[in-house]
């Protein structure tokens, strides 16, 4: 089976839809699969391929190129060395012996270290460099740290298509070439932003400002549907990467014998009654991607944990380590939970969050089952959170 789709005359999608993949980087759940978008650009003189799909889909890419009767590729533009963009390079270079691999110096270095290409077959491109394919021309735009240091975008001026690699993408297997169901793609793109892009907010804002100078009719990402209405995804990214936070509390928690759970229930109700939106996650059964997504906008995170083995529950520590790695713009934090005879639960959670510039509210920790004084402390915590949110949002 083959599948190729025309974007503009001489520009085709020739990638692979991975309907069944359920995990990425041995970390990120892919509940809706993904796609590895690869693009063939045929100019009047030269032919270029942008990105080279995951190794598991090499045969799909090769079949698509074969179905189009492609006998010669002059350039394989590797926008990013990660294996889901470069996995089929080795086979491609065998089948297309004239092809040169183009990329940033960092990308080419990585590809050589991954043993995907030899020094003789690579050609470095510089930031802003232009290259002609005859009646079509490509410009390369360096876009480091979304999410590796090697990434470039590629702009096809004649067709006003910007190829943005991982940036602005989504893990979404779909029969739609374009993001026609924007509500669906918004959710998938926000989740993808949270899992992959969020730690690089400052770079994202720089890249958004730079591509603002281009006239863009289509944004062609390396994962998920393309955007024929670029404003949709650019506005979403501007919002997510801004410093603005929302009146939301993210509350990941774990409870062993029910004490922490009682406190979580109480705090959730206290926050709701004060007009604060709450996103609550039971850490014994949750989706990492949904937790990451909830951190994109939230002003506050409260971690709920019992004490075990003289410290925080490992699931709560994992959530803290994850939040720390994702570097959300969250401003406030607190810890609630319980203990039987003591431990270093508070210190462990606090030191796990060094990347976040957090202001901590007083923790609420109950000995065993929460008592009246603990519920009063939870009310005070809810008051403080609601007041801070009001201050920030007004």
32 vs 82, which CB is nearer to ligand FEO?
82
Whole-number minimum distance, CB 291 to ligand FEO, in Å?
20
Q: Could you give the 3-state DSSP secondary structure of residue 34?
A: strand
Whole-number minimum distance, CB 171 to ligand FEO, in Å?
9
Dist CA 10 CA 2 (whole Å): 18
Nearest to 87 by CA among 129, 107, 116: 116
166 vs 374, which CB is nearer to ligand FEO?
166
Alpha carbon separation from 372 to 259, 306, 369, 379 (Å, rounded):
13, 18, 10, 11
Question: Residue 298's beta-bridge partner residues?
Answer: 246
108 vs 335, which CB is nearer to ligand FEO?
108
Whole-number minimum distance, CB 156 to ligand FEO, in Å?
20
Whole-number minimum distance, CB 229 to ligand FEO, in Å?
23
Q: CA torsion, points 147, 330, 190, 303, in degrees to nearest 10?
A: 100
**Contacts with 212 (C-beta within 8 Å, 6 or more apart), sequence order:** none
Whole-number minimum distance, CB 82 to ligand FEO, in Å?
4
**Contacts with 231 (C-beta within 8 Å, 6 or more apart), sequence order:** none
18 vs 166, which CB is nearer to ligand FEO?
166
194 vs 365, which CB is nearer to ligand FEO?
194
Whole-number minimum distance, CB 79 to ligand FEO, in Å?
9
Residue nearest to ligand FEO (CB): 82
79 vs 334, which CB is nearer to ligand FEO?
79
Dist CA 68 CA 6 (whole Å): 11
Whole-number minimum distance, CB 83 to ligand FEO, in Å?
8
What residues line the site for ligand FEO (CB under 6 A)?
Answer: 80, 82, 84-85, 147, 166, 222-223
> Position of tokens 């739609």?
176
β-sheet with 75-77: strand ranges across = 5-8, 11-13, 39-42, 47-50, 75-77, 100-103, 122-124
| C-alpha 97 chain-centroid distance | 35
């Amino acid at each position: 089976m083959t599948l190729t789709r025309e974007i503009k005359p001489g520009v085709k999608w020739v990638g692979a839809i991975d309907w069944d993949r359920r995990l990425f980087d041995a970390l990120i759940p892919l509940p809706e699969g993904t796609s590895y978008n690869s693009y063939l650009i045929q100019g009047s003189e030269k032919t270029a391929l942008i990105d080279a799909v995951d190794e598991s889909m090499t045969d799909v890419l090769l079949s698509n190129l074969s179905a189009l009767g492609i006998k010669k590729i002059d350039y394989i533009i590797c926008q990013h060395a990660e294996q889901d963009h470069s996995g089929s390079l080795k086979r491609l270079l065998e089948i297309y012996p004239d092809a040169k691999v183009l990329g940033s110096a960092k990308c080419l270095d990585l590809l050589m270290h991954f043993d995907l290409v030899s020094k003789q077959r690579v050609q470095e491109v510089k930031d802003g460099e232009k290259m002609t394919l005859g009646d079509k021309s490509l410009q390369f735009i360096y876009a480091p740290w979304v999410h590796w240091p090697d990434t470039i975008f590629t702009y096809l001026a004649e067709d006003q298509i910007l190829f943005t690699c991982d940036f602005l993408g989504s893990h979404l297997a779909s029969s739609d070439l374009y993001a026609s169901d924007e509500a669906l793609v918004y959710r998938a793109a926000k989740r993808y932003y949270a899992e992959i892009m969020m730690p690089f907010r400052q770079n994202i804002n720089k890249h958004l400002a730079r591509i603002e100078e281009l006239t863009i009719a289509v944004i062609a990402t390396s994962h998920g549907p393309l955007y024929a209405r670029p404003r949709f995804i650019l506005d979403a990214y501007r919002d997510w990467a801004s410093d603005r936070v929302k009146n939301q509390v993210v509350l990941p928690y774990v409870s062993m014998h029910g004490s922490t759970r009682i406190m979580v229930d109480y705090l959730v109700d206290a926050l709701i009654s004060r007009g604060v939106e709450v996103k609550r996650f039971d850490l014994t059964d949750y989706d990492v991607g949904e937790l990451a997504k909830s951190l994109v906008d939230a002003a506050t995170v409260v971690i709920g944990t019992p004490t075990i083995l003289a410290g925080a529950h490992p699931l709560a520590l994992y959530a803290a380590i994850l939040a720390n790695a994702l570097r959300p713009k969250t401003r406030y934090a607190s810890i609630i939970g319980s203990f039987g005879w003591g431990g270093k639960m508070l210190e462990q959670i606090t030191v796990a969050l060094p990347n976040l510039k957090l202001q901590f509210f007083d923790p609420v920790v109950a000995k065993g089952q929460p008592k009246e004084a603990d519920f009063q402390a939870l009310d005070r915590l809810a008051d403080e959170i609601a007041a801070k949110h009001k201050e920030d949002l007004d």
